[in-house]
Amino acid sequence: MHSSYAETIGFDTDAVGALPDSWVEGVTGRGTPRWTVESDASAPSKPNVLKQSGAGTFPWCVRHRTSIEDGFVEVKFKALAGTEDRAGGVVWRWKDGDNYYVARANALENNVSLYYTEAGRRRTLKYVDAPVPANKWHTLRVEFSGRRIRVALNGKTYIEFDDNHIAGPGAVGMWTKADSVTAFDDFSYGSK
């Protein structure tokens, strides 16, 4: 995919123990998310990762002042813990905490799924079985253009879907579910 611009963020110059600059955290539903930069010897780009260690219905962390209508979002993630869920995801066309698309991979269920969230309610578009071992780094990538959405895990496309629930430009970011403790690194995004 040709991008008119792209950026990759490795969190390596951000202060450890705090939310990184230019990011906003929150939750769809209820709970107390906690997104902090942490050092991690296993980080794909050392030394730091962004870790979600709080809990909530759907914790999210979005890049401030991003606005992409057609493009891509990609992140490396590692599911560390969680009894209800062990999920790592990305959001795009994010308008606010109640309206956005999300794709996620789940290490407890071994699947990849695509949702849209509208008026605070998450709706499933598609689930596909996929190997997502916990405590290993995975790369989740979404390409979106018009109605077409393509979701890939570790370089393999699992979902191709046409949907028009969330149109127009929006922010990009990361997402988890419930009690997932998840590390993220090398967050990349760009416009077409």
| Residue-wise pLDDT tens digits, 19-52 | 999 999 999 999 999 999 999 999 999 999 999 9
> Which CATH number is 22's domain given?
2.60.120.560
Cis omega (within 30 of 0) for bond into 47: yes
Angstrom distances, CA of residue 85 to CA of 39, 88, 186: 23, 10, 22
Higher pLDDT, 161 or 3: 161
Q: What is the pLDDT of residue 5?
A: 86
| pLDDT at res. 113 | 99
Domain residues for the domain of 158 are 5-191
pLDDT digits (tens, 9 = 90+) for 47-97: 999 999 999 999 999 999 999 999 999 999 999 999 999 999 999 999 999
Taking the C-alpha atoms of residue 108 and residue 168, their distance in angstroms, rounded to an integer, is 33
**Statement: the pTM of the whole predicted model exceeds 0.95:** yes
> Which helix H or strand E contains 118, and what residues bound it?
strand 111-118
Instruction: State the average pLDDT over residues 128-143.
Output: 98
Q: How are beta strands 23-32 and 148-153 bridged, if at all? A: unpaired
Q: How confident is the model at residue 3 (pLDDT cuts 50, 70, 90)?
A: very low
Name the domain count of the chain. 1
* Residue 1 pLDDT > 50: no
Q: Is 184 left (phi over 0), alpha (psi -120 to 50) or beta?
A: beta
